[in-house]
């Protein structure tokens, strides 16, 4: 039996460059895995089965099953597996939990079935499952392009701490699509913000820190009414700045001082807010 961790992510930068002819948006992003994770177990079996239940998430529609079936089809493999899934990453939070689970299944079954596919092949399969899946095949810090299928691994970030705040609000199943519909040409950027962050990773200590940025923050009042109150509470707890994690509504602040991060987390928890204290996760911690 294999046991794998499927880590969450935050977007340190998320830009929309424009809308493509195929209807998708062209993005530029810097993504980073963090230490909040789901746990997957994989055991050999005669067929593919998901040993998991969560209200509102039908088994046959689950991206985890779709990943296993897509891998078997690509490889012409008739083997099966029982996939156990323990969810810790909040669903619909903007942290990439479903995509990370799918990527972990692709990596794990590649080992279990001894297929010996490359990361590039697994990422290509993942691109057909969801825009964030290719990133999670690599993990660590990556520059992302296209609609998410172009992944350039970067040097690991010096250890950072992230405080996550999960607002108590309902989220629509088509949240991400709704956010993209709200993004207008005036919100498009050139990709320079992602390039600046990439330079920070590649030339540590030689350049000024690049700003964190998320295009969806331009439209959060319409997308997430009431989110501004949570941002205010986050700042009152001592966060130097607050940003939307991916498509939200989870918020985050990033720090390089563990004590400061712990204090912010403690104050949020004392205020009855759902909060997580996590660290950056490097690529060497991702199961191959």
Instruction: State how far the Cα of 169 lies from the Cα of 91, in Å rounded to an integer.
Output: 12
In this structure, what DSSP letter does residue 96 have?
-
> Token digits for 119?
């990361």
Dihedral sign from CA coordinates of 284, 28, 105, 84:
positive
Which of these is catalytic: 9, 38, 101, 156? 9
Active site residue 132: yes
Phi-psi region of 142 (alpha: psi -120 to 50; beta: other; left: phi over 0): beta
Which of these is catalytic: 5, 38, 101, 132? 132
In this structure, what DSSP letter does residue 164 have?
E
How many helices (H) and strands (E) in the chain?
Answer: 9, 11
Distance, CA of 130 to chain centre: 11
**E strand or H helix at 91:** none
Instruction: State how far the Cα of 190 lies from the Cα of 9, in Å rounded to an integer.
Output: 23
Q: Are strands 161-166 and 274-279 parallel, antiparallel or unpaired?
A: antiparallel
Instruction: State how far the Cα of 127 lies from the Cα of 145, in Å rounded to an integer.
Output: 12
Give the residue among 162, 161, 154 at the shortest CA–CA distance from 204. Answer: 154
> Token digits for 56?
């509102």
Between vectors from CA 275 to CA 134 and to CA 182, what angle results, nearest 5°?
55
Active-site residue numbers? 9, 132
């Amino acid at each position: 039996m294999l046991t794998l961790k499927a880590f969450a992510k935050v977007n340190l930068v998320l830009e929309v460059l424009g809308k493509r002819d195929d209807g998708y948006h062209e993005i530029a992003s810097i993504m980073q895995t963090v230490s909040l994770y789901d746990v997957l177990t994989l055991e050999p079996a005669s067929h593919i089965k998901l040993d998991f239940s969560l209200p509102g998430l039908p088994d046959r529609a689950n991206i985890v099953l779709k990943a296993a079936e897509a891998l078997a089809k690509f490889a012409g493999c008739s083997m099966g597996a029982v996939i156990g899934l323990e969810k810790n990453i909040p669903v619909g939070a903007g942290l990439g939990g479903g995509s990370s689970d799918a990527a972990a299944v692709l990596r794990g079954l590649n080992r279990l079935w001894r297929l010996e596919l490359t990361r590039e092949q697994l990422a290509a399969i993942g691109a057909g499952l969801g825009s964030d899946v290719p990133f999670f095949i690599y993990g660590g810090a990556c520059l992302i392009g296209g609609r998410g299928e172009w992944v350039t691994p970067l040097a690991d970030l010096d250890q950072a701490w992230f405080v996550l705040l999960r607002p108590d609000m309902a989220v629509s199943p088509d949240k991400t699509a709704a956010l993209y519909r709200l993004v207008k040409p005036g919100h498009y950027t050139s990709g320079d913000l992602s390039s600046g962050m990439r330079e920070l990773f590649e030339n540590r200590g030689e350049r000024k820190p690049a700003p964190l940025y998320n295009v969806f923050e331009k439209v959060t009042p319409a997308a997430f009414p009431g989110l501004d109150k949570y941002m205010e509470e986050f700042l009152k707890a001592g966060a130097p700045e607050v940003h939307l994690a991916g498509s939200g509504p989870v918020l985050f602040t990033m720090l390089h001082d563990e004590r400061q991060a712990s204090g912010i987390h403690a104050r949020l928890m004392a205020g009855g807010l759902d909060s997580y204290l996590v660290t950056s996760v490097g690529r060497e911690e991702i199961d191959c």
